[in-house]
């Protein structure tokens, strides 16, 4: 825990004085560490000379800021109207069935299943619009945009992402 502190501070520091610096600095930590560790609040409060309540208020407001690390490759499926119209709800159901609830860390909460399942665990969160409404349903698997998403295409992207990390 202690060893992480200097790095969080280093990530935050360049944004002091920048326009909207707090938001950008939290993004930098979130991107670098995959989430905002609990001590981020205290460190950011000190770095930006704000109260912890203010920092917590900002962190809790935005969907991008995660309190817990991803439990597997991230899958974000658009659940907004255009994707609903093109069968997005069905894709979401299929995704949830293929990766049992235990394997899905919805909204960044909960944990993945036991160790055996960890290999197939995904970190699923819905997203409201990826701007791919004309090629709906849309998904974001890792950093790969997927138009006309279906379970097969999502699985293919997950496999490719797995290859890359190996």
Partner 1 sequence: MSQQPVRFFLPCDSAAISLGADEVAQAMTTAAAADGVRVEIVRTGSRGMHWLEPLLEFECEGVRHGIGPVNPDDAASILRAVVSGKLDLPNAIGPVEEVPFFARQQRLIFSRCGVIDPVSHHQYVDHGGYEGLACALTKTPQEICDIVLNSGLRGRGGAGFPAGIKWKTVADAVDDQKYIVVNADEGDSGTFADRMIMEGDPFLLLEGMIIAGLATGATTGFIYLRSEYPIAAEILSRAIATAYDHGMLGADVKGSGKRFDVEVFIGAGAYICGEETSLLNSLEGKRGEVRAKPPIPALEGLFGKPTLVHNVISLCSVPGILQMGAAAYRNVGVGKSTGTMPFQLAGNVKYGGLFEAGFGVTLGELVNDIGGGVRVGSGVRAVQIGGPLGAYLPPKLFDLPMDYEKMLAAGAGVGHGGIVVFGDDVDLLEQARYAFEFCAEESCGKCTPCRIGAVRGVEVMDRWRAGDDPAAQRELIEDLCEVMVDGSLCAMGGMTPIPVQSAIKHFPEDFVPPAAKRDAAE
Q: Footprint of partner 1 on this chain (CB under 8 A)?
A: 19-24, 26-27, 54, 57-58, 61-65, 78, 80-87, 127-136, 138, 140, 143, 145-148
Strand stretches in the chain, DSSP E: 74-78, 123-127, 139-141, 144-146
User: Least distance in Å: CB of 48 to partner 1?
Assistant: 8
Between 66 and 103, name the residue whose CB sits nearer to partner 1.
66
Dig out the tokens for 86 from the structure. Answer: 């093109």
What one-character DSSP code corresponds to residue 134? G
User: Least distance in Å: CB of 85 to partner 1?
Assistant: 3
Instruction: Give the whole-angstrom CA distance, residue 147 versus residue 149.
Output: 5
Between 120 and 135, name the residue whose CB sits nearer to partner 1.
135
Strand partners, 127: 78
User: Least distance in Å: CB of 138 to partner 1?
Assistant: 7
């Amino acid at each position: 825990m202690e060893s992480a502190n200097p790095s969080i501070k280093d990530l935050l520091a360049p944004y002091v004085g920048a326009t909207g610096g707090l938001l950008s600095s939290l993004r930098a930590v979130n991107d670098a560490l995959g989430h905002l560790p609990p001590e981020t609040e205290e460190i950011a409060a000190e770095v930006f000379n704000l109260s912890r309540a203010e920092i917590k208020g900002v962190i809790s407001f935005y969907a991008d800021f995660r309190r817990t690390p991803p439990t597997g490759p991230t899958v974000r499926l658009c659940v907004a109207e255009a994707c609903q119209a093109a069968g997005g709800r069905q894709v979401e159901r299929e995704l949830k069935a293929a990766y049992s609830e235990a394997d899905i860390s919805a909204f960044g909460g909960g944990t993945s299943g036991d160790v055996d399942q960890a290999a197939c665990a995904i970190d699923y969160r819905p997203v409201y619009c990826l701007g791919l409404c004309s090629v709906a349903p849309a998904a974001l698997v890792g950093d790969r945009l997927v138009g006309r998403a279906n379970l097969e295409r999502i699985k293919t992207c997950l496999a490719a992402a797995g290859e890359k990390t190996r």
